[in-house]
């Protein structure tokens, strides 16, 4: 192929940028306006409005003559108490526990109906392999087990494997050990009953217990917890011995289960062989509804519509636009166009599809995920791309296909945001992830359609079209790379114990860790940090990028003092912070 031909083809391959005000931009504007409209009520999971959004997408596919379907998965939308009774016996004394004050059911709790089961205190209910063990020497079977929710921020617990830290993981272990019930000792009042992350309902009854509810029925549990923190040794205690402490419990929960939609459409490939292989283009359709959960807008945002124009009406509209354009392009491989529900609740829709694929999973060769692509900065247009499970070379090649008028900051691995592509990379499918960055309206009622950069969105759609066609028409598709699929935990692998409150600018910055803003009421805000500042030192450590910042932050605990140095324009500024714990 002569150089001019390759130059011509190369020119043809690089994304052609649609003129501003293009037809594509108009269609994108129309779809975002509808999906982020007040009447769609923030497309909450379990809301009928999310079904309306799915029906809108399905109509678009039908109008294009594409084969399309709605796949539904179960989602616990609401959970409420139907029957309840809790009686604590201590020696001769009997005392009812008050629901909503002393105790409350936890959203994934099972039902209960038992009498006088003895209590045992089991610290935090953890067992560190070859190390700390709250279970050592304790009888758990058929006991009511009291564990504290909050893990101590001491080194002894820092090495507890990530998957075993969550309350759910600890309760599941007690269920396996056939405990009769779990009482979760809170640091304060009992937590209100609400649906918990994920589609989970356990068999074991689980109650949230306010800090003082037991009185002295189990002695001084706070002293035991302090002993654990101070000594790093377990302080479990069985209350089957005198004074006998037991619980009689009756609990029946009612769950409203909704069937949440995923929408899947197919553009069949034109190549007799390659059409058996699929390239997935995906975006989540759900958002936060009225902000019952995951809202960052504070108490006043609860009950307000969270329109989610950028998160993720922008990505949802972009995938519809790709469907329109790729149908015309007649790719060699087949294209699956997917709109997921349940992303905000833990990637539920995409992980459901991976477990119940509508098309042969082993034939899915690559996945492109668009989540929050509506806020390309017109002044400094930069797209963030992740390549979880994709070979580095594929990401480099993709960058070369980008139009000249926006730059790309690419990072293999999981650095750039968690979203539905993670369900695919965990199924060993290489992915690209597209994201225009975090902003002050993220997960707030202010994420509205009037803030969307539609000319930018149209440019990204053109780029997405180029990449999708490149993959669909190539002789071979880049293979899955397990190295880049690793979800890297930074620092000591333990959880982040302090909250600082910066909104990261995920784009690489040669000088340090640049921020896009600060969260209200945070330490960063109190120190006077602002959008555009570049953090260069934290707590005596040099900060060259977001990883260094996470490491430096991860090395601190609540109450620690840390000197922070940052650049603002050509000024170097510094202040000392007293770090606060995560709430």
**Range in contact with Zn ion (rule: CB under 5 A) among 91-99, 217-225, 293-301, 370-378:** 370-378
Closest CA to 427 of 493, 482, 502, 472: 482
Distance CA 310, CA 312 (A): 5
Q: Which of 49, 277, 321, 371 forms a contact with Zn ion (CB under 5 A)?
A: 371
Q: Which of residues 13-72 bind Zn ion (CB under 5 A)?
A: none
Distance CA 565, CA 548 (A): 14
Specify the DSSP class assigned to residue 495. -
How many residues at the interface with Zn ion, by CB under 5 A?
3
CB of 442 to Zn ion, least distance (A): 9
Closest CA to 435 of 315, 535, 271, 278: 315
How many Cα atoms occupy the beta-carbon half-sphere of 69 within 13 Å?
Answer: 6
Cβ neighbour number for residue 152 with a 10 Å cutoff = 17
Taking CB under 5 A as the rule, which mask of x and - marks residues 216-255 in contact with Zn ion?
----------------------------------------
Q: Is the CB of residue 248 less than 8 Å from the CB of residue 87?
A: yes
Confirm or reject binding of residue 473 to Zn ion (CB under 5 A): no
Confirm or reject binding of residue 295 to Zn ion (CB under 5 A): no
- Given the complex with Zn ion, which of 312 and 351 has the nearer CB atom? 312
**Range in contact with Zn ion (rule: CB under 5 A) among 117-125, 239-247, 310-318, 407-415:** 310-318
- Given the complex with Zn ion, which of 248 and 419 has the nearer CB atom? 419
Phi-psi sector, 524: left (phi>0), alpha (psi -120 to 50), beta: alpha
**Range in contact with Zn ion (rule: CB under 5 A) among 138-146, 294-302, 308-316, 488-496:** 308-316
- Given the complex with Zn ion, which of 84 and 312 has the nearer CB atom? 312
Q: Is the CB of residue 388 less than 8 Å from the CB of residue 422?
A: yes
- Given the complex with Zn ion, which of 102 and 447 has the nearer CB atom? 447
- Given the complex with Zn ion, which of 234 and 445 has the nearer CB atom? 445
Distance CA 583, CA 500 (A): 11
Taking CB under 5 A as the rule, which mask of x and - marks residues 329-368 in contact with Zn ion?
----------------------------------------
- Given the complex with Zn ion, which of 58 and 316 has the nearer CB atom? 316
CB of 15 to Zn ion, least distance (A): 23
The helix or strand, by DSSP H or E, that contains position 527, with its residue range, turns out to be helix 523-527
**Range in contact with Zn ion (rule: CB under 5 A) among 118-126, 153-161, 307-315, 555-563:** 307-315
**Range in contact with Zn ion (rule: CB under 5 A) among 10-18, 73-81, 108-116, 369-377:** 369-377
Cβ neighbour number for residue 8 with a 10 Å cutoff = 12
- Given the complex with Zn ion, which of 31 and 311 has the nearer CB atom? 311
- Given the complex with Zn ion, which of 312 and 523 has the nearer CB atom? 312
Distance CA 142, CA 137 (A): 15
Distance CA 321, CA 32 (A): 11
**Range in contact with Zn ion (rule: CB under 5 A) among 93-101, 304-312, 476-484, 494-502:** 304-312
Confirm or reject binding of residue 312 to Zn ion (CB under 5 A): yes
- Given the complex with Zn ion, which of 371 and 548 has the nearer CB atom? 371
CB of 283 to Zn ion, least distance (A): 9
Longest CA–CA span in the chain (Å) reads: 96
Q: Is the CB of residue 478 less than 8 Å from the CB of residue 393?
A: yes
**Range in contact with Zn ion (rule: CB under 5 A) among 192-200, 312-320, 327-335, 444-452:** 312-320
Q: Which of 60, 153, 311, 533 forms a contact with Zn ion (CB under 5 A)?
A: 311
- Given the complex with Zn ion, which of 479 and 487 has the nearer CB atom? 487
**Range in contact with Zn ion (rule: CB under 5 A) among 217-225, 306-314, 435-443, 571-579:** 306-314
Distance CA 297, CA 294 (A): 9
3-state secondary structure 324-372: HHHHHHCCCCEEEEEEECCHHHCCHHHHHHHHCCCCCHHHEEEEEEECC
- Given the complex with Zn ion, which of 313 and 458 has the nearer CB atom? 313
Q: Is the CB of residue 277 less than 8 Å from the CB of residue 269?
A: yes
Helix axes 315-329, 23-35, angle to 10 degrees: 140
CA dihedral sign of residues 54, 57, 58, 59: positive
CB of 311 to Zn ion, least distance (A): 4
Three-state secondary-structure class, residue 289: coil
**Angle subtended at Cα 581 by Cα 545 and Cα 133, rounded to the nearest 5 degrees:** 100
CB of 536 to Zn ion, least distance (A): 30
CB of 71 to Zn ion, least distance (A): 20
**Range in contact with Zn ion (rule: CB under 5 A) among 64-72, 111-119, 311-319, 331-339:** 311-319
Q: Is the CB of residue 209 less than 8 Å from the CB of residue 183?
A: yes
- Given the complex with Zn ion, which of 97 and 373 has the nearer CB atom? 373
- Given the complex with Zn ion, which of 207 and 384 has the nearer CB atom? 384
CB of 125 to Zn ion, least distance (A): 32
Residue appearing with tokens 């392999």: 129
- Given the complex with Zn ion, which of 269 and 308 has the nearer CB atom? 308
How many Cα atoms occupy the beta-carbon half-sphere of 500 within 13 Å?
Answer: 29
CB of 312 to Zn ion, least distance (A): 4
CB of 285 to Zn ion, least distance (A): 10
Distance CA 518, CA 528 (A): 9
Task: Phi first, then psi: give them for residue 494, nearest 5 degrees.
Answer: -80, 175
Q: Which of residues 481-520 bind Zn ion (CB under 5 A)?
A: none
Residues that bind Zn ion (CB under 5 A): 311-312, 371
């Amino acid at each position: 192929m002569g150089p001019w031909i390759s130059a011509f083809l190369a020119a043809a391959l690089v994304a052609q940028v649609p003129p501003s005000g293009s037809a594509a931009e108009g269609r994108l504007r129309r779809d975002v306006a509808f999906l982020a409209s007040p009447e769609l009520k923030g497309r909450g999971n379990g809301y009928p409005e999310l079904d309306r959004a799915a029906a809108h997408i399905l109509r678009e596919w039908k109008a294009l003559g594409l084969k399309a379907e709605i796949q539904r998965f179960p989602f616990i939308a609401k959970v409420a108490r139907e029957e309840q009774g809790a009686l604590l016996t201590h020696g001769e004394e009997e005392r009812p526990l008050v629901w909503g004050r002393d105790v409350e059911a936890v959203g994934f709790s099972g039902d209960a109906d038992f009498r006088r089961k003895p209590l045992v205190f089991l610290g935090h209910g953890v067992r560190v392999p070859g190390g700390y063990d709250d279970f050592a020497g304790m009888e758990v079977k058929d006991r009511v087990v009291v564990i504290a929710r909050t893990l101590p921020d001491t080194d002894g617990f820092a090495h507890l494997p990530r998957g075993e830290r969550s309350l759910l993981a600890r309760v599941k272990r007690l269920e396996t050990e056939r405990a009769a019930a779990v009482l979760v000792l809170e640091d304060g009042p009992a937590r209100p009953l609400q649906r918990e992350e994920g589609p989970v309902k356990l068999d074991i009854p689980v109650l949230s217990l306010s800090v003082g509810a037991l009185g002295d029925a189990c002695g001084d549990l706070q002293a035991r917890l302090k002993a654990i923190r101070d000594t790093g040794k377990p302080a479990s205690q069985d209350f089957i011995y005198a004074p006998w402490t037991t619980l009689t419990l009756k609990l029946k929960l009612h769950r409203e289960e909704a069937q949440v939609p995923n929408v899947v459409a197919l553009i069949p490939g034109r190549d007799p062989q390659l059409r058996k292989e699929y390239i997935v283009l995906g975006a989540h359709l759900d958002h936060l509804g009225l902000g019952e959960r995951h809202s960052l807008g504070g108490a006043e945002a609860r009950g307000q519509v969270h329109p989610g124009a950028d998160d993720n009406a922008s990505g949802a509209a972009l995938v519809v636009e790709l469907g329109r354009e790729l149908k015309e392009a007649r790719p060699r491989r087949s294209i699956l166009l997917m709109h997921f529900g349940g992303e905000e609740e833990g990637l539920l829709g995409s992980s459901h599809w991976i477990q119940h694929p509508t098309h042969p999973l082993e034939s899915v060769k690559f996945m492109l995920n668009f989540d929050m692509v509506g806020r390309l900065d017109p002044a400094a247009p930069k797209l963030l791309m992740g390549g979880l499970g994709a070979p580095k070379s594929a990401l480099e090649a993709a960058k070369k296909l980008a139009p000249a008028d926006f730059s790309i900051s690419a990072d293999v691995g999981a650095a750039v945001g968690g979203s539905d592509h993670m369900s695919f990379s965990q199924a060993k499918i290489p992915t690209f992830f597209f994201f225009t960055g975090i902003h002050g309206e993220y997960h707030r009622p202010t994420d509205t359609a009037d803030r969307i950069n539609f000319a930018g969105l149209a440019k990204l759609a053109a780029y997405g079209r180029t990449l999708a066609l490149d993959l669909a028409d190539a002789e071979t598709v880049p293979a899955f790379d397990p190295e880049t699929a690793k979800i890297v935990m930074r620092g000591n692998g333990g959880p982040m114990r302090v909250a600082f409150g910066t909104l990261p600018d995920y784009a690489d910055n040669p000088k340090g860790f640049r921020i896009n803003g600060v969260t209200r009421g945070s330490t960063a805000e109190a120190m006077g940090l602002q959008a555009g500042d570049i953090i260069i030192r934290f707590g005596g450590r040099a900060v060259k990028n977001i990883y260094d910042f996470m490491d430096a932050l991860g090395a601190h605990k609540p109450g620690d003092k840390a000197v922070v140095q940052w650049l603002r324009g050509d000024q170097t500024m510094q202040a000392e912070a007293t770090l606060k714990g995560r709430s």
